[in-house]
């Protein structure tokens, strides 16, 4: 039983990988422990969003990923 954590944009550069598998179920504290301190610091920022099972979470700390879910870590989007 596992979830997939997807690192997008600059978070991929920090993680050094596109994705990682983690044991399910996975809550917010488990996610922070799984991704390590540098990415956890980024996730603490309001501008970084988290999506689980295709839905952006309005409250990141409410994360409750189940077996087979994908958790996408979404850095702020810039462009013009």
At 78 the pLDDT is 59
Q: Which residues contact 10 (CB under 8 A, 6 or more apart)?
A: 75
Dihedral of the alpha carbons of 16, 77, 74, 11, in degrees to the nearest 10: 20
At 76 the pLDDT is 83
Its pTM stands at: 0.93
Backbone angles phi, psi at 71, to 5 degrees: -110, 120
Give, as one character, the DSSP assignment of residue 75. Answer: P
Residue numbers of the chain with a pLDDT score lower than 50 = none
At 80 the pLDDT is 52
Domains of the chain: 2-74 (3.10.20.30)
């Amino acid at each position: 039983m596992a979830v997939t954590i997807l690192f997008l944009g600059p978070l991929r550069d920090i993680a050094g990988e596109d994705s990682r598998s983690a044991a399910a179920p996975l809550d917010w504290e488990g996610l922070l422990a799984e991704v390590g301190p540098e990415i956890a610091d980024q996730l603490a920022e309001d501008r970084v969003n988290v999506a689980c099972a295709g839905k952006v979470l309005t409250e990141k700390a409410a994360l409750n990923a189940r077996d087979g879910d994908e958790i996408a870590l979404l850095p702020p989007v810039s462009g013009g």
